[in-house]
Amino acid sequence: MTDAQLTEAVECTDVFARLSPAHKQRIVKALQNKGHVVGFMGDGINDAPALRAADVGISVDNAVDIAKESADVILLEKNLMVLKRACWRGGRCLRTSSSTFGWGRVRTSATCSA
């Protein structure tokens, strides 16, 4: 499949299976080319290229070292609901800071324990 065909296929495909590391990375890049912000979760050595290519690479604490080094976020438990709770808490904190500091570009960093 060419890059152009893959870029079209990612819009109408929900599941990709039995992928090589290069295929995972190509899918991430194809989604980005279509304007998507891409998060990728992986825990093995074969996930490292896609973790690096993604806008947000997500791994877990018990993943292999290369996956953790490639990730932007490391979850302490293998459950994506942790991210949902962190975004909710972070949004609450951001709303509080923007009402305190007014309009502007705000960068936040938070560590939450579930």
Give the residue ranges of the chain where pLDDT is below 50: 98-114
| Per-residue model confidence (pLDDT) at position 49 | 97
- Determine the Cα angle at 112 with ends 78 and 109, to 5°: 110
| Per-residue model confidence (pLDDT) at position 90 | 74
b/e 5-42 (16+ beta carbons within 10 angstroms → b): ebbeebeeeeeeeeeebebbbbbbbbbbeeeeebbbbb
Note the pLDDT tens digit of each residue in 64-93: 999 999 999 999 888 888 888 877 777 766
| Per-residue model confidence (pLDDT) at position 110 | 43
| Per-residue model confidence (pLDDT) at position 80 | 82
| Per-residue model confidence (pLDDT) at position 96 | 54
